[in-house]
Structure 1
Amino acid sequence: MKPITIISLVTCLLLVAPSWSYDRVTGKPFASRSEVIATNAMAATSQPLATQVALDILKQGGNAIDAAIAANAMLGLVEPTGSGIGGDLFAMVWDAKEQKLYGLNASGRSPKSLTLEHFELQGLDKIPSYGPLPVSVPGAVDGWFKLHEKFGKLPMTSILAPSIEYAKKGFPVTELIAYYMQASVPKLEKYPGFKETYMPNGRAPNKGQIFTNKDLAVTYEKIATGGRDVFYKGDIAHSIAAYMKQQGGFLSYEDLASHTSEWVTPVSTNYKGYDVWELPPNGQGIAALQILNILERYDIESMGFGSSQYIHTFVEAKKLAFEDRAKYYSDPAFNNAPVNWLISKEYAKSRSQLIDSNKAAKRYDAGINEGDTIYLTTADKEGNMVSLIQSNYRGMGSGMTPTGLGFILQDRGELFSLEPGHNNVYAPNKRPFHTIIPAFVTRNGQPWLSFGVMGGSTQPQMHAQIITNLIDFGMNLQEAGDAPRMLHTGSSQPTGGKMVDGGMVHLESGVSPKVKRELLEKGHVLQDSLGNYGGYQAIMRDLETGVYYGASESRKDGHAAGY
């Protein structure tokens, strides 16, 4: 028999192997799959069952707002590692009838009875990550009802019915969520209520295990029939307040009963013909607009995706924006950030002049005023679109798991500063700086893109990267999310402290050794790292045909689907 040479063996393998083993027949180089395309409706969430629930609601005659609420409720059940009704919510809604974009800030405030002096007496220089002290009022449920009252179509009993059914009968836990639930156990199992809710048979569920949450089913049933007041003024509020008192916490019935969400006006900048919209502080959305305004002053397209010059320019723009973020972004009821100035082209011009194209800055000062999460998006056949983000903040939250309710309270209060005089310093009845931000893009006054990327300080960085991927580098919707990402850490934080030695640049796999070497020569400190690059979901609307394109995160359990 004639021996098979290495060359002939490789040739044979190439002839019989499917085309995707060495190149994709269709689509774009970075895309993990093709975009999802549909005419009637689209939903993209971070968990496939939640996406299916959203589509079911849409097929029942519900609109994009109903579907978004239903998906968020489902995510609170199936992905408690990043969401739940113990947390806050932000949303933008494109109203097809009025041809207008609305913004909702459904974030909660700090306890009225907890003062800055308490932290000082405890000798704390930062607010703890877990336990009773970082707990603020959960705003998500009020956010649901604000959205539903203004835009909803189906009754709330129908909207919450799928999640109630799944909570009673159970669902199989996915691999990623099982991993994060198990990782939460060492931090949270000591807090009363956590084991009873999330550790059936004494341990967090494994991949594929059927998990039920009958307490959450009862809570959802009460909310569905009794409305938002059941949560903020009824039995649920009393249970939360009693539990927090037992744990030595400060969140009270009065804090819950007095909570209100706020309709806010989204703010925007125009990036090369596209209006990119974010919500104003207390969130960090305008940091994405500041980054884009600086990038617009450069020929990003000619630099090329993944080039050292593009990465360098992006990182320096991010550093500049995040120094303003650390100084100015806070609850506008306490400190009115100079938003219009910060997102102006004039300000971007002056800030961009600080960037050295050949050298990484060790630090920047903030400008002078002349001022773990889920994301989902839905769209319906009328043209309504929803961009919604919701979170407990640090993974599953504070660990405070009120008896018999089936959810954990958020630890968003950790993001207050304890530095006297800081704009984001802790105060009673104050909303903390927020990391979660939904995004929206219009073109010529028409809705073009609803998207978001999960992950703390990752979010404004990834918002800007998605926009440049689409507009400067011509990527399709799926590829724009799949392309390798970069993340800069080490800038000054809203909780206090200054950027040290320029911070660190984290590069996802796919960046060449030559580019890394060039970045090192410019003075950047690099670190390869897995994870921490966010979780992307997006829906794009063809402005001529009305056809929807959907894309979802390949790094997580995300799923986009339409009909």
Structure 2
Amino acid sequence: MPASDATWLAPRTSLTGSRHAVSSGHHLASAAAFAILEAGGNAIDAGCCAGIALAVLHADEVNFGGVAPIMIRTADGQVVTIDGLGVWPRGIPADLFVREHDGTIPTGLLRTVTPAAPDAWITALRDHGTMTFGEIAAAAIRLASDGFAIFPLIAEGIAARQAGYRRWPANAAIYLPEGRPPRVGERFVQTDLAATLQAMVDGEQAAGGTREAGLEAARAVFYRGEIAERIVAYHEQHGGYLTREDLAAFRCRYEPAVVTRWRDLELLTCGPWCQGPMLAQALLVLEAAGLDGLDHNSADYVHLVVEALKGVFADREHHYGDPAFVDVDLERLLSPAHADARARAINRERAAPGLPPALFGESQSLPAPSRLDAPAVVGEGGVGGEAEPKEGGTSYVCVVDRWGNAFSATPSDGASTSPVIPGTGIVPSLRGLQSRPDPRHPAGVAPGKRPRLTPNPAIALLDDGSVMPFGCPGGDMQVQAMLQVLLNRFHFGMDLQQAINAPRFSTWSFPNSFAPFDYLPDRLLVEDRFDEPTLAELERRGHVVGRWPAFTRDAAAVEAIVRDRTSGFLHAGADPRQPASAIVG
């Protein structure tokens, strides 16, 4: 349809500036980051500021003690990733969940891995930032201690998961003040979280010396000092496995970005310890299959993208895991031969029935996913409409500064399926819910091993020197939404915000990343902005079509910035599917 007739152009338009830009999952986090930029901080300072603020503002979806994978591209072209992901405690038996929990990962302390986000923010600041922890955490401390107005997304999330919060008094005290979920417009205060952050600032200030020494002192308060002692004491008293040694020894890992050429750009993703390389794989499969001549969001286009994604999700299921424990043959997975094989396996007239097979190296011990008869609604942590919604999680922030540094981060972890440590305001990372209970699985449990993470920040680098950091919340929807935005922008030529606003679709024909790993073969969900003939044609091809409301957060919420090297301008977009905000200057 002509661009002027597209109803999805309405919600927002791209913002353009010439100095610096930030886009994040909440306007107050973006405002805090922009203030850092205006004060002379760089993209890393501002991104860390927003990331910690999101742990306050999206308190039911981002936890300061959770995960925070980060990608940084400095102005001189250096690219680094910081995994921001914890590991299973050293003392946990690999077969614990198979042997004692009937192949499930139960709610509570047993899903705890080492909290990684505090170290991730401090590592990024130490090595690439210019400011102190106290400077970049000030906004989060104020928002936590003074409170902020409850907005619909957090009100709905807490209300939906209130049964989980009621399990533990410390969780209920924060998330259910007055014994009920907070209502839109009420003030939401997190006094203990403010105290935790302030204790780290106090440790930094007491250290004296260099900025780096202060940052290490702030970190030590969390991993070796009073916060660590509270975490460990609670685990010792309640049957957890996290120890002083686990916390003291933990450091986030620097790992090279996965660099993939697609047309006139290089796509930078994190490694297969998360689902990031899937995005590159999907682009390569679609390029091999051929996109030319397909109308945007036509039945032919949606079918092809969905079938390509099914094959890539199969590769994730059979191959992706912590490379320190699993031999992930990324060279083969990202090869033209593999992309061609996946493309050739697509039937243009018929949907593949469920998860496609592995094309190489399939583990004989990997069980086939069991089919699930479930409602056609899928949310962040799995299938919606059940008696008990799954754990919520994830937000996103990207920043580009006046010098050309780019920052992309996807902080995450909720607080409804594991206990808040009393007096801290945090849940040590419950990301173990993304490991498979069977240690034989590539993403299976093992002491010291990272769960396979869904959050996956990315950056695109164009041959003309332009840069685009982008990402989103959304669990297994993340790669699907990021792929569609990339194609909208660089294949269909849309304006950045148009590319974000456009209607989305999704496949769920694979085991979900979150325990209990729901599997919905043939399920195709679309936002309620597709025409009836398109949906009828998709159903004729064998897709089981369900509908999301228009602009639903379940379709993920992509934020992005483009630094256009040719014009010198920065263009920023924020997804109307959540209270996201972009600010440019």
Confirm or deny a common fold (TM above 0.5).
Answer: yes
Distance 1:265 1:365, change over 3 A: same
1:221 aligns with 2:212: no
The runs of at least 4 aligned residues of structure 1 exceeding 6 Å deviation read 23-28, 494-501
How many pairs are equivalent?
537
Distance 1:56 1:26, change over 3 A: farther
Instruction: Report 1:63-74 matches (<5 A).
Output: 63-74=42-53
Shift of 1:103: 1.2
1:150 aligns with 2:127: yes
Provide the secondary structure at the position in 1 that maps to 2:507. Answer: strand
Aligned letter for 2:234? Y
Rounded to whole Å, the distance in 2 between the matches of 1:355 and 1:32 is: 35
Instruction: Report 1:62-461 matches (<5 A).
Output: 62-96=41-75, 98-128=76-106, 130-226=107-203, 227-363=218-354, 364-368=356-360, 372-392=393-413, 395-444=414-463, 446-461=465-480
Distance 1:502 1:217, change over 3 A: closer
Rounded to whole Å, the distance in 2 between the matches of 1:551 and 1:323 is: 31
Rounded to whole Å, the distance in 1 between the matches of 2:17 and 2:70 is: 23
Shift of 1:117: 3.4
Rounded to whole Å, the distance in 2 between the matches of 1:57 and 1:548 is: 17
| Cα contact 1:469–1:480 (8 A) shared by 2 | yes
Distance 1:64 1:498, change over 3 A: closer
Which string of whole-angstrom CA distances, capped at 9 and with x for unpartnered residues, describes residues 321-371 of structure 1? Answer: 011101111111111201121112221012211111111111410121599
| Cα contact 1:375–1:537 (8 A) shared by 2 | yes
Rounded to whole Å, the distance in 2 between the matches of 1:208 and 1:176 is: 12
| Cα contact 1:103–1:279 (8 A) shared by 2 | yes
Provide the secondary structure at the position in 1 that maps to 2:565. Answer: coil
Provide the secondary structure at the position in 1 that maps to 2:408. Answer: strand
Rounded to whole Å, the distance in 2 between the matches of 1:553 and 1:400 is: 31
2:503 to 476, 480, 484: 484
Rounded to whole Å, the distance in 2 between the matches of 1:491 and 1:370 is: 16
Provide the secondary structure at the position in 1 that maps to 2:86. Answer: coil
Q: Which runs of 5+ in 1 are unaligned?
A: 1-22
Higher Cα radius of gyration = 1
Which string of whole-angstrom CA distances, capped at 9 and with x for unpartnered residues, describes residues 417-463 of structure 1? Answer: 12252222211111111100001100127342110021111111112
Which string of whole-angstrom CA distances, capped at 9 and with x for unpartnered residues, describes residues 454-493 of structure 1? Answer: 1111111112111111111111111111101011002145
Provide the secondary structure at the position in 2 that maps to 1:428. Answer: coil
Provide the secondary structure at the position in 2 that maps to 1:441. Answer: strand
Rounded to whole Å, the distance in 2 between the matches of 1:501 and 1:158 is: 46
Q: Which runs of 5+ in 2 are unaligned?
A: 204-217, 364-392
Shift of 1:197: 2.3
Aligned letter for 1:408? V
**Root mean square deviation of aligned Cα:** 2.2
Shift of 1:201: 2.2
| Cα contact 2:42–2:405 (8 A) shared by 1 | yes
State percent identity of aligned pairs.
Answer: 29
Q: What's the TM-score once normalised by structure 1's chain length?
A: 0.91
| Cα contact 1:387–1:452 (8 A) shared by 2 | yes
Provide the secondary structure at the position in 2 that maps to 1:205. Answer: coil
Q: Which residue of 1 aligns with 2:538?
A: 519
Shift of 1:24: 9.4
| Cα contact 1:46–1:556 (8 A) shared by 2 | yes
1:45 aligns with 2:66: no
Shift of 1:29: 5.2
Q: Which residue of 1 aligns with 2:384?
A: none
Rounded to whole Å, the distance in 2 between the matches of 1:436 and 1:325 is: 14
Q: Which residue of 2 aligns with 1:9?
A: none
Rounded to whole Å, the distance in 2 between the matches of 1:333 and 1:420 is: 14
